[in-house]
Structure 1
Amino acid sequence: MKAGVLPLLLLCCGPALGQVLERGNGPEPSTLDAHRCPEVACANVLRDLYEGLVAEDGGGRLVPGLAERWDVSADGRAWIFHLRPGLRWSNGEALDAGQVVASFRRAFTPATAAPFAGHFEAITNAAAVQRGELPPERLGITAPDPRTVVFTLSRSADLPRLLTLPTAFPVYLPALAEHGAQHTRPGRLVSNGAYRLAGWLPQAMITLERNPKFREPAPIPRVRFHVTEDASSELKRFEAGGLHLTETVPPQPLPALRARFGDQLRISPYLGSFWLGYNLDQPPFKDAPALREALSLAIDRDILTRHVTGLGEVPAYGLVPPGVAGYAPASLGWGRATQAQREALARRRYAEAGYGPGNPLDVELRYNTSTPHRRLALAVAAMWREVLGARVRLRNEEWKVFVGNRRQRVITQVFRGGWIADVDDPRNFLDNFRGDSNANWTGYDDPAFTALLDAADAAPTLAARAARLREAEAHLLRAHAIVPIYFYTSKHLVRPEVGGFEANLLDRHPSRFLTLAPGE
């Protein structure tokens, strides 16, 4: 078969009715190593391949996973998970509590460098193990018998919700020992979820098939996750019948989209914030808060959300989105000013930083390849030129290259950031700005900010904890380490034959809770 024929066949001929669920999934997943997954694209696939001690159903509600039930002590510091009988890996081998514990130990070793291990710092010795100060055996997770896993915590935490994250999925360690980084390839990846890996065509698709060793057969036999970095191309593919479900919808006038797609268009609240980040390790933004604030002030977020994104997004003047349980987000004070007032203040801050017509800022704005990101970057660059006279260069990169450059903080200046919540908790957004966080792409490192997070950990009540976290968010915003732009909505196109698709704040839709009826 000639190169390019397979994607064309999929586009023109559509899915095998009732047999294959065709899902758009955004950029190429950077890995299928559950412990090393850093983004939504890999997490979507991993939730089909794996199951943790606790799972989520199609509406985001917690349900038993590997554990059929769990108990917690009165002080919230000890959790006991009781495993289901007869658990199996996809290769048929037995899966027991000892393997679950061994997998957690691997996730927290420094060599693994799990990007989201910091979310589990409440587990006794978790941070010290990740830093290499203690051996993995000192991690506060034990298996007193083959069907029991016990966690000890240094502070209270919503452990069941955390255990739905890929970092908590069990990894089959014999395959890792035999194949190393290649254990994630088809024919080598051993998983324990409703599906198993059948194929991976780079930059095209990942194919999953029903796992016959899973306790409940998934309603849909096969699932294909398609790489759909360009939202406009994804839309065309959906219209041609090549996708049942899109990852997103490209920026277009909302009334026209509703008229065109009707009930197939699903737009819902989403716990996610989009922001631009500054590289605080390098000039020109290192030790330059006035310059950082000037660029933030110069952006008209109302124009961006009305005319550039245009799908229900809300202008953001803070980091944590509205809707997080039990939390009132902090906000930049000038968010209540008019845009004219903000622009006047922007020019003053720009001059205070030493810039002006005779000395314009020359800056690069970096983003990953995507039509929505390109449109937003163009608009932001135009605002910076018009309001401040800055010279702006745009640079787009393929996802993996972009992620690597952003993480290294060497050549970046301003970059596309953002965060989609892993759990419904404000700390999930704030933790990324601790100096030692693997997701700290800005290099922000402030002892006062860290002290406020620590104070939240020690707070005697949930209300006191929320108050300390709000102080931490306000402290971060005053430093202007990021430029808040908007709060996300989830936006998908879903064909009528797909059943079980439920909107939820974390926008998670495991394939095993979906159904697929014969279409036209």
Structure 2
Amino acid sequence: MSRFLHLALCMAAALALASCGSGKADDEVDVAFIGSSTELFEPGLRLAPAGQHIRSATAEGLVSLNQSGEVVPALAERWIVTEDGLSYIFRLRNTDWADGIPLTSNSVRDALRRNIQELRGTSLGLDLAKVEEIRAMTGRVVEIRLDGPMPEFLQLLAQPELGLRRNRQGTGPMTLSRERDTALLAPLPPETRGLPVDEDWESRVRTVRVQALPAEQAVAAFDNRAVDAVFGGTLTSLPLADTGALSRGTVRLDAALGLLGLQVVGERGLLATESGREALAMAIDRQSLLQPFNIGGWIPTTRVVAPDLPGDPKIIGERWNGLSLELRQAEAARRVAAVAGTDRAARTLSIAMPPGPGSDLLFRELSEDLAAVGVVLERASESAPADLVLVDRLARYADARWFLNQFHCSLKRGLCSPEADEAVRRAMQASDPAATAAMLAEAEARLTAANVYIPIGAPIRWSLVRGGVDGFSENNWGLHPLFPLALRPI
């Protein structure tokens, strides 16, 4: 499923420097997220990446993700899945909530129901729509029943937003204290979490200090050895990683799964018809679009759903096979001229992109491609509505339904396809895997034909991790648990 290879950006001399450590005391590790400090302490369920990582560190769900992105036990010490794939039965750890109240199947059921209720109206809420019932069976057994099979359900259940809390407090594996705009995360002893006693625990763990900084400051802090790792890098900030920081650590790229493309939010002129919107999609040279970023192995796509997902029926393929870029752009130019003629205003479109050097590079490349077919692209101002919006989003699980749910009409993110939504709804009701896959392929075909989203490829996620820092591993989800960083290197 990998979209690109890891960059080999460290030379032997740099690694030797990194292995010497930062010179700080070994009783803490410092992490900077690219973002704002308010994201670290968000109390609700609409979480930015920094908030997701804090939540997963302080509020375990029934299951969680380890540093490699694999589902592992959390509040549930084990589970079984019935043969029909409709029932997930979890055996809970023998532990307490943060306030000392015993963690029971009833309290876990209620906490999970609250989370699902609060997530209604979000794309994650759509993903959870297959949950039919949550039952407390005995003191420490919870059953979740689905209305249809969902092979990726455990992956969905491991998302940070499904971490369980009582009175806004989770069960760990870490405790959170705040020091101005810095989050201090201390690992909880295993016996307080219903796990066997570890006599050497205090000598094996350390505090993780987390702050959120603008991208330039985060990279500078890493380069100055003020932090040991930087998380949350995207395409927008990727050029900043190619600085002096590389002499003191490594750039690590996740083989991320998700969306990188343009969502159509305006509906005027060229964007008013499927044919006009397709002209924009045809004009983009995806093979060379990201060349200025020097990302080896990145694979572009014209599909809404990422290619080669598990269970992909191979019904939908890449678009415009057999047409060269020149022929595609010639057809796109013909359509643009037919709609806009020589009217510059009718040929001008605005795009909303986050600020950053990566956005500047991407805007330049997109502008050149669209200029080749007669379209003028401008950066949208914050005070004016845009015609196009850059989508840069990580997948929660490896299934076509996640991709299709991102454009559901109920989310009101831009133009949409009710026909595609209806096909997804029918797919959810199908019990036969082949029928489900066929209906999801139909939904993708309808969304593709509507041209409300212009795919580019997989999203880019990068981190800076100093040599000698253990507990980090690249994965498809761009989630890097903070708890493993608290374990001292052996």
TM-aligned CA distance change 1:222 to 1:263, over 3 Å: closer
Offset of 1:82 from its aligned partner?
1.3
Segments ≥4 residues shifted beyond 6 Å: 256-259
Which residue matches 1:467?
A: 438
State the match for 1:274 in structure 2: 260
Q: Which residue number in structure 1 is paired with residue 348 of structure 2?
A: 362
Q: Spell out the pairing of 1:89-488 with structure 2 (5 A cutoff).
A: 89=98, 91-109=99-117, 113=121, 115-124=123-132, 140-158=133-151, 159-173=153-167, 175=168, 190-199=169-178, 201=180, 205-212=182-189, 213-215=192-194, 220-230=205-215, 232-247=216-231, 248=233, 250-252=237-239, 260=246, 264-279=250-265, 282-284=267-269, 287-308=272-293, 310=295, 312-327=297-312, 328=314, 330-334=316-320, 337-357=323-343, 360-390=346-376, 392-395=378-381, 411-436=385-410, 438=411, 440-446=412-418, 448-488=419-459
Number of residues of Structure 1 aligned to a counterpart in Structure 2: 456
DSSP-derived class of the 1:491 partner: strand
Give the deviation of 1:516 after TM superposition.
5.9
Letter matched to residue 289 of structure 1: E
Offset of residue 391 of structure 1: 5.0
Q: Give 3-state SS (helix, strand or coil) of 2:320's partner.
A: helix
Indicate the residue corresponding to 2:11 in structure 1. none
Q: Which has the higher contact order (CA 8 A, sep 6+)?
A: 2
Question: Do the aligned partners of 2:239 and 2:357 also contact (CA within 8 Å) in 1?
Answer: no
- Tell me, in whole angstroms, the C-alpha distance in 2 between the residues paired with 1:200 and 1:337: 58
TM-score by length of 2: 0.82
Task: For 2:354 and 2:229, locate their aligned partners in 1 and report how far apart those are by CA, in whole Å.
Answer: 22
Conserved 8 A contact 1:17-1:518: no
Letter in 2 for 1:481: V
Q: 1:278 Cα shift? A: 1.0
Letter aligned with residue 192 of structure 1: T
Deviation larger for 507-516 or 144-153:
507-516
Q: Is contact 2:187–2:483 with CA below 8 Å preserved after alignment?
A: no
Give the SS at the match of 2:67: coil
Q: CA deviation at 1:413?
A: 2.0
1:82-122 per-position Cα deviation (integer Å, ceiling 9, x unaligned): 11112332x44433222222222222336975551111111
Is the partner of 2:149 in helix, strand or coil? Answer: coil
**Does the Cα contact within 8 Å between 1:35 and 1:169 map onto a contact in 2?**
no
Q: Which runs of 5+ in 2 are unaligned?
A: 1-20, 196-200
Secondary structure of the structure 2 residue equivalent to 1:23 = strand
Deviation at 1:22, TM superposition (A): 2.2
Q: Is the 8 A contact 2:417 2:446 kept in 1?
A: no
In structure 1, give the amino acid aligned to 2:397. V
Letter in 1 for 2:350: E
Distance, in Å, in 2 between the alignment partners of 1:34 and 1:443 is 31
> CA RMSD, aligned part only?
3.4
Q: Give the Cα separation in 1 of the matches to 2:47 and 2:337.
A: 38
Name 2:7's counterpart in structure 1.
none
2:479 aligned residue:
508
The verdict on how the C-alpha distance between 1:334 and 1:233 changes in structure 2, with shifts beyond 3 A counting, is farther
- The letter for the 1-side match of 2:224 is A
Call closer, same or farther: CA 1:152–1:117 in 2, change over 3 Å: same
TM-score using structure 1 length: 0.77
CA drift of 1:427 comes to 1.2
Report the secondary structure of 2:413's partner residue.
coil
Unaligned stretches of 5+ in structure 1? 1-12, 125-139, 176-189, 398-404
Residues 46-65 of structure 1: CA deviation (Å, up to 9, x unaligned): 21121110122222222211
Q: Is the 8 A contact 2:253 2:462 kept in 1?
A: yes
Q: Residue type matched to 1:501 in 2?
A: F
- Structure 1 position 424, deviation (Å): 1.9
What secondary structure sits across from 1:374 in the alignment?
Answer: helix
Tell me how far apart the structure 2 counterparts of residues 233 and 100 of structure 1 sit (CA, whole Å). 40
Maintained 8 Å contact 2:123/2:406: no
Matched-pair contact (CA < 8 Å) for 1:270–1:489: yes
Identical pairs, percent? 23
